[in-house]
Amino acid sequence: MKIGVYGQYYQEDAGDFIQVLLNALEENDVNIVVEAGYYEQIRKFAGITKEYAMFSSFNDLDASYDMMFSVGGDGTILRSVLFVRDLNIPILGINTGRLGFLATVQKEGVCKAVQEVVNGEYELRKRALLQITSDPPVDDQTEVNFALNEIAVSRKNTTSMITIATWLDEEYLTSYWADGLIVATPTGSTGYSLSCNGPVIAPSTDAFVLTPIAPHNLNARPLVIPDKTRIELSISGREENFLVSLDSRIATLSNETRITIEKAPFYIQMVELREESFLRTLRKKLLWGEDRRN
């Protein structure tokens, strides 16, 4: 079995945990390949002395990998997606951060999680992604034009709202007068969209949600649409530019740029251990059902 290990950065209280994780993988005869930047950090700060094979980019990965371990929080998983892309390598999130809505394995249970992975005691859940194109094309636009959580447009260098004219499958919907607009996947419905009063959508639902950010149109509400819908946006405002974000990646575009958002042609496979589920995560992470009267 071949597993990649990735983390964005080393956390001070994670040194012993990292060693436990690597030991558990080695005890199960796993071929371990560590992302180069993360490897340097754990060598420097966690005292890891053993030599491991390394990868540095998407181009270093291939179908020989059975799984990717993402060590950190949900943001680390979003970064892991940039390595995995369309290679269909499943991602297991190990939470060393705070909320950990996607990273469901707690670091205290990492040995058990490794054993379950080796024994095949898990399910794979497909997660849809969004992709964006622009007209005219952006100079530095690359193949990394996709997002697992959301694509959002928002104002830049101004306190004034922007106007976001929106078309769905070439039919005009409305013009949002707001700080911005979020287009979220079911995976992203529990992130930025949720904080803007968007609905929670089960990951298996074939839908996206449009969630305005602080709209001045008081009748503007989040809208759930089929995930096969083609979304076109045209932005205008007092400033000449606006921001577009793909998960945690941000770019500046001019108001003359028309953007198109649609479903990406591939999925991300998330590993779900037998004791975990989306509904359990809702109860545990969002405290659903918590009531002091009970």
Comparing CA positions, the residue from 104, 62, 291 lying closest to residue 203 is 104
Q: Is 227 a catalytic residue?
A: no
Tokens of 197: 């009063």
- C-alpha radius of gyration, the chain, whole number: 20
3-class SS string, the chain: CEEEEEECCCCHHHHHHHHHHHHHHHHCCCEEEEEHHHHHHHHHHCCCCCCCEEECCHHHCCCCCCEEEEEECHHHHHHHHHHHCCCCCCEEEEECCCCCCCCCEEHHHHHHHHHHHHCCCEEEEEEEEEEEEEECCCCCCCCCCEECCEEEEEECCCCCCEEEEEEECCEEEEEEEECEEEEECCHHHHCHHHHCCCCCCCCCCCEEEEEEECCCCCCCCCEEEECCCCEEEEEECCCCEEEEEECCEEEEEECCCEEEEEEEEEEEEEEEECCCCHHHHHHHHCCCCCCCCC
Annotated catalytic residue, options 62, 74, 179, 247 = 74
Partners of residue 150 on adjacent β-strands: 184
Q: Is 38 within 8 Å of 6 (Cβ atoms)?
A: yes
Active site residues: 74
